[in-house]
Structure 1
Amino acid sequence: MIITTRHLVLAAACGVAAGGAPAHGPARLKIEHSVDIQAPADKVWARIGDFQDMSWHPAVAGTRGSGGNAPQATRLLTLKGDGKATIEEALNKYSAENMSYMYKITNVDVAVLPVTNYASTITVTPTGPASSKVEWRGGFYRGFPNNDPPPDLNDDAAIKAVTGIYQSGLEALKSEMEKGGR
C-alpha cells in the first residue's frame, strides 16, 4: 500500500475528530493594574523602589532579604495574619533611572497564593511635575497545572487573588502618598 499526503491528511482529520488530539495545559494569565497618584514620581519611587522594603503593601507584615536592588537579590515577605504565610521572591531586573523593577516568585504555597510561575514588573512614570502613574503587571499560571483544576486553584481563583493584591497595594500606596506619606 502506498501512503500519500491525502491519506495522511485524512488520518490526521479522523484522529482530531475522534478526540485523538492531545489536550494542552493552562494558558499563561496576565494582569495589569495602574493608579494615578498626585505626588511626584521620584517621591513615589522612593517609597516603593527598594526591593527589600514592601511595607507599603497592606498585606505585608514584614520583609527580609539580601542583595539590595542587585539582580538576583532575594526577599521573604511575611504576610499579615498568623505570621506563617510567606512568599519568597527574587529580583530579575532593576532600573532606578527608569523607576522600574522586575521580580519573580521563587516559592509560595498555592494555598497562600494560587499561582505558579509568577513574574511581575512595577514601574513609576511621571505624568506631571506633581503627579505620577504606577503600573503593576504580572504573568502567571493558575495554581493547578493540570486539566480540571479544583475551584480554589483554577484560572478565576488565580486572577482574583493577583487582582486583589495589585488593587489593595496600589490603593494603599495612592492613599499614603497623597496624604503626604514618606
Structure 2
Amino acid sequence: MVTVHEQARLGAGAEEVWKLVGDFIGFIQALIANMDDAHVVVEGEGVGMVRKVTVGEDVAIERLEAYDQEDWRTSYSMPVTGPFPMTDYFSTIQLTPATGGGCEIDWTGTFEPDGVSDDVAAEAVRNVYTQAIAMLQGRFGA
C-alpha cells in the first residue's frame, strides 16, 4: 500500500474553507473549472453519492465515503480509478484551525499501484493534491 500525504496552510479559517472543501460536488467543480471539456455528473446524495468526473477523454468515478462537518473531515474512494494507475484508492481531507489564524489542510491518500512503480503512482496522486492545494491557496491565501 502506498500513501501520499500533502499538508499546507490556508489563509482563511477552517469553517470558511470547509464551505468549499466539504462540498463533494462544488470542490471538484472548482478544481476543473478552467479545464477544457470538463464536467461532473452526480448520482445520489450524502454519504454514498458518486461523482463521475470527466476531463477530456479521462473519466474518474469517486464515491463519498465519510462526511464529518464538526471535525471538517471528508473521505472518498475511487471504485473505478479511470486514468490513474492504481486500485483500492481511499483519501481523506482534514482541516484544522492554525495557530494565529487560517487553517491547515491535510490530504492523505492510500492505494495500490497498478502496472507502474510506487513512485509513478504516487506522483500522479501528488500532482492532483498539490494542484488542488495551490487553487485553494489562490482562493483563500496561504
Q: TM-score, normalised by structure 2?
A: 0.88
1:55 match: 29
Is contact 1:48-1:56 (8 Å) kept?
no
Is contact 2:76-2:92 (8 Å) kept?
yes
1:17 match: none
Q: Tell me, yes or no, if structure 1 residue 134 matches structure 2 residue 108.
A: no
Q: Tell me, yes or no, if structure 1 residue 34 matches structure 2 residue 7.
A: yes
The higher relative CO (CA closer than 8 Å, separation ≥ 6) is in 2
Matches of 1:125 and 1:29 in 2, distance apart? 24
1:150 match: none
- 1:68-101 per-residue CA deviation (whole Å, 9 max, x = no partner) reads 3x2211111122xxx2211001111111111111
2:139 match: 176
Is contact 1:63-1:75 (8 Å) kept?
yes
1:43 match: 16
Partner residue of 1:154 out of 117, 123, 132: 117
Identity rate of aligned residues, in percent? 25
- 1:132-153 per-residue CA deviation (whole Å, 9 max, x = no partner) reads 0111100001022xxxxxxxx2
1:129 shift after superposition: 6.7
Give ranges in structure 1 of 5+ residues lacking alignment. 1-27, 145-152
Q: How does 1:3-152 map to 2 (within 5 A)?
A: 28-53=1-26, 54-58=28-32, 61-68=38-45, 70-79=46-55, 83-109=56-82, 112-128=83-99, 130-144=101-115
* 1:140 partner SS: strand
Is contact 1:39-1:177 (8 Å) kept?
yes
- 1:5-54 per-residue CA deviation (whole Å, 9 max, x = no partner) reads xxxxxxxxxxxxxxxxxxxxxxx000110110111111111111111221
* 1:134 partner SS: strand
* 1:46 partner SS: helix
Counterpart residue type for residue 11 of structure 2: Q
Greater fraction of residues in strand = 2
| Aligned-residue CA RMSD (Å) | 1.9
Matches of 1:56 and 1:130 in 2, distance apart? 24
Larger radius of gyration: 1
Q: TM-score, normalised by structure 1?
A: 0.70
1:147 match: none
